[in-house]
Structure 1
Amino acid sequence: MSARARAGRPISVVVADDRAAFRRGLALILATQPDLRLVGEAEDGYGAVELARSLRPDVVLMDMDMPGMSGTEAARALLGGEHRPRIVLMTTYDSPGRREEAAAVGASGLLLKVSPPEHLLALLRAAGPPVTG
């Protein structure tokens, strides 16, 4: 259990991916973690931005490649706004260009979709805001 969970406030997460089955899998993984709380799901970058602005999550986990507004474009929009959640981007493709793109938009992390759940959880916990008090 993380220090945040012991402090009584889980890290709130919005998930955005255009594949419903993948979003559902992420939701199931997050549901097993007492220090992480899924607060919303979106199928594209527009939805991710709308949810993040209304729900003000600690972290937005989103696919880099979604139709309409990509995760990269959504990250730029969110990080340029009033509420700036931490962003963890996901990709199917491992390349230096992807890592550079994620860093350039200010993402807190980049997750390969083939990574084990432990990597996902570690990235979300590292991206979450520090425990205060």
Structure 2
Amino acid sequence: MTKKKDIKILIADDHQALREGLKVILQLEPDFSIIGEAEDGKQAIKLAQALVPDVIIMDMDLGDMHGTQATELILARQPDICVIGFSMHVDPDLAEAMHKAGATAYLTKSDAPDQLISAIRGC
């Protein structure tokens, strides 16, 4: 039996506590591997190119740029990456903007962790 390939994940969020919390939750999954963390949009773009993650969990408010902008820039160069929009805002307009930017899913930070895990596996 061959071992299933790990899903390589990059977390892009401007709040360190949230990044750390996500890491703790996601590292409990045996097939998830957190390969990097970005605290702003420019760093997310740079790390996406350097690390080539399977999935990016992308915050909307990244300080230096909006998550939609970072998503568009990343996916223009690396269309095989799956981006999941992740925000504290329950806003259908933000969700639509993220989908237009190329994100596969949009979740809020108040959603259950199982929803994020399912979205990651759905990529």
Shared fold by TM > 0.5? yes
Give unmatched runs, 5+ long, in structure 2.
none
Q: Does structure 2 retain, via aligned residues, the 8 Å contact 1:90–1:113?
A: yes
**Equivalent of 2:65, from 59, 66, 69?**
69
Shift of 1:83: 5.6
Aligned residues: 122
RMSD across aligned positions (CA): 1.3
Confirm whether residue 43 of structure 1 aligns to residue 47 of structure 2: no
CA distance in 1, matches of 2:91, 2:14: 21
Shift of 1:27: 0.4
Shift of 1:35: 1.1
**Runs of at least 4 residues of structure 1 off by over 4 A?**
none
Q: Does structure 1 retain, via aligned residues, the 8 Å contact 2:11–2:37?
A: yes
**Equivalent of 1:55, from 28, 51, 65?**
51
Q: Does structure 1 retain, via aligned residues, the 8 Å contact 2:11–2:19?
A: yes
Confirm whether residue 115 of structure 1 aligns to residue 111 of structure 2: yes
Shift of 1:126: 0.6
Q: Does structure 2 retain, via aligned residues, the 8 Å contact 1:90–1:110?
A: yes
**How many percent identity over aligned positions?**
35
Amino acid at match of 2:25: I
Q: TM-score, normalised by structure 2?
A: 0.93
Shift of 1:102: 1.1
Shift of 1:100: 0.9
Shift of 1:82: 4.1
Instruction: Provide Cα deviations, 1:18-52, integer angstroms capped at 9, x if missing partner.
Output: 00000000000111011111000010111111111
Q: TM-score, normalised by structure 1?
A: 0.87
Shift of 1:98: 1.3
CA distance in 2, matches of 1:39, 1:83: 19
Shift of 1:69: 2.0
Shift of 1:84: 3.6
Q: Which secondary structure does the structure 1 equivalent of 2:77 belong to?
A: coil
Give unmatched runs, 5+ long, in structure 1.
1-5, 128-133
